[in-house]
A = this chain, B = another copy of it.
């Protein structure tokens, strides 16, 4: 299921030999149409990997026939030769599909700064093409894009009138605004033009994947693609489609959050009473990136002072003497100083909710993050060695 739940899509996940582990490392997703309408959102990092530079150009045409994704190497910071590798990858996919490379998107994930082993990757494309299927292909593809993800992430939903949305994602570290080291492919058999898909995707990701900020680090490779086959013959209401897509993206966000590298807590930061949505998001992000607070939550210490310290670094509208903070429902800070008994806060569950009331207006936003743990340090100290 997952990306092959909607009609018109086939997928495969194979071992091309990019990973030393011998695990699956190459995925191919093909849209058999009749439509090839597509949209994409990409990292805002100015240092963009070769596949991002390539796929941004492809998506400008609003059509994607296939996307090829590899783990085992990000193909970022590899210069002109790296871009040629991406180009060659797209050409090989086009060749096996009997099409032009101009509608082939490419995604890569893994270590930055190293060339991909093209002598393994290119033959892997033929192998993947031979295994394309609607059955197991979707799950194999989700498995093939994993790096440090402990599980594959998939989701699907049924829409009104008989269409579906399916999705797969990877991303377990470097989750930050502008999408995190995240590769995500979303498919639908609904019939919508590229412009509508683009609006829906930007709206959905802005509220979900873009508000997941595990460690504040922005990746060079983040890509979220949405492909529509129109095979269900259903033209959905755009608002209803956007809501369903947002639901799928929220589901993926949750899966990415709970599988973030080395985390022991999944933290939702709900900012309410903001003068503007942007204020709420800025405050949420500032809290999400505060290492001291993230350590405190790891230690199950309801240290609301560190929340206020983080709020104070933003430009949001607030009066320090009117800030309120609840941790797991206990209002430990009222009017900028000590509130209810902090000993009432139970921080033993994995899920933690920090609510900040700015007392400045009607707007709100939720940002998700994780705690900071010794496991995170360990995993990221040893990644490339």
Contacts and interface: CB of A to CB of B under 8 A. Distances in A.
A376 B336 CA distance: 27
B381 A377 contact: no
Contacts of A381: 295-296, 298-299, 301
Nearest to A311: B47
A292 to B, nearest CB: 5
A336 B292 contact: no
Nearest to A76: B305
Contacts of A382: 299, 301
Given A113-B333, A296-B380, A337-B82, A301 B77 contact: no
Contacts of A299: 380-383, 385
Given A292-B173, A380-B296, A112 B335 contact: no
A228 interface: no
Interface residues on A, range: 35 or more
A338 B114 contact: yes
Contact of A373 (B77, B216, B377, B383): B377
Nearest to A215: B291
A99 interface: no
A370 to B, nearest CB: 11
A317 to B, nearest CB: 11
Contact of A112 (B76, B305, B321, B378): B305
A339 to B, nearest CB: 10
Interface stretch (A33-41, A55-63, A134-142, A217-225): A217-225
A374 interface: yes
A77 B296 CA distance: 17
Contacts of A115: 338
A303 interface: yes
A379 B295 CA distance: 9
A309 B217 contact: yes
A309 B173 CA distance: 13
Contact of A372 (B218, B335, B377): B377
A177 to B, nearest CB: 9
A111 interface: yes
A280 B313 CA distance: 21
A335 B298 contact: no
Contact of A308 (B47, B372, B373, B379): B47
Q: Which of A115, A313, A374, A382 has the most CB of B within 10 A?
A: A313
A372 B379 CA distance: 12
Contacts of A219: 309
Contacts of A338: 77-78, 113-115
A290 interface: yes
The 9 A-B pairs at the shortest CB distance, nearest first, are namely A112-B305, A299-B381, A47-B312, A295-B380, A374-B374, A79-B337, A45-B312, A113-B305, A46-B312
Interface of A: 44-48, 74, 76-79, 81-82, 111-115, 173-174, 215-220, 289-292, 295-296, 298-299, 301, 303-306, 308-314, 318, 320-321, 323, 333, 335-338, 372-374, 376-385
